[in-house]
Amino acid sequence: MVTPHVEQHLQLLAHLRTILVAVADAEVVPENHHALFLERFDEMVLDLRESTEDLYVGQDIISQVFQRYPQIAHLVPRDLLWFFGGDCLHFMPDEEIEKYQELEDRRYQALENGEDFDWNHEIQLMFMPESAPKH
């Protein structure tokens, strides 16, 4: 069973895949290598639907996005870097890691207390500019 937290990240991976396809459509990358990469990407997503026990392949693929396609690195959802962790965290500044750690702690606390936790809403609040009013 896929949890809402994992489902959120699967949706972000689907979004990232559309960006990767657009890169190929724009003929920015060699097609033969790109097709193999997309195949691995799709396999990783299928495996993720079954289990989140081993996130190493996801770490490797997200890291490769930064290495292979630096022109779209800024479009990679930050949540994916945190979700996969490991080498992906090298692409996040320390301040951002601290915020995600705080958010993760709050999520686990809510789960322990049997409370709902809306990751998207909490992300928006966490990364809202200091001058913006928080509700």
Contact yes or no for 117/107 (Cβ under 8 A)? yes
Q: What pLDDT, on a 0 to 100 scale, did the predictor assign at position 29?
A: 63
Q: What pLDDT, on a 0 to 100 scale, did the predictor assign at position 32?
A: 67
Look up residue 119 and give its two tokens: 């990751």
Q: Is the pLDDT of residue 52 over 90?
A: no
Residue with tokens 């392949």: 57
Q: Domain-by-domain residue ranges, the chain?
A: 4-91, 93-135
pLDDT band at 2 (very low <50, low <70, confident <90, very high): confident
Q: What pLDDT, on a 0 to 100 scale, did the predictor assign at position 5?
A: 84
User: Could you tell me which residue, 2 or 102, shows the higher pLDDT?
Assistant: 102
Helix ranges (H only) for the chain are: 4-25, 31-50, 56-68, 78-84, 94-112, 119-126
Q: Is the pLDDT of residue 133 over 60?
A: no
Q: What pLDDT, on a 0 to 100 scale, did the predictor assign at position 130?
A: 63
**Tens digit of pLDDT for each residue in 28-50?**
666 667 888 999 999 999 999 99
Contact yes or no for 18/28 (Cβ under 8 A)? no
Mean per-residue pLDDT of the chain: 88
Q: What pLDDT, on a 0 to 100 scale, did the predictor assign at position 120?
A: 86
Q: Is the pLDDT of residue 70 over 80?
A: yes
Task: Quote the pTM value.
Answer: 0.85
**Tens digit of pLDDT for each residue in 74-92?**
999 999 999 999 999 999 9
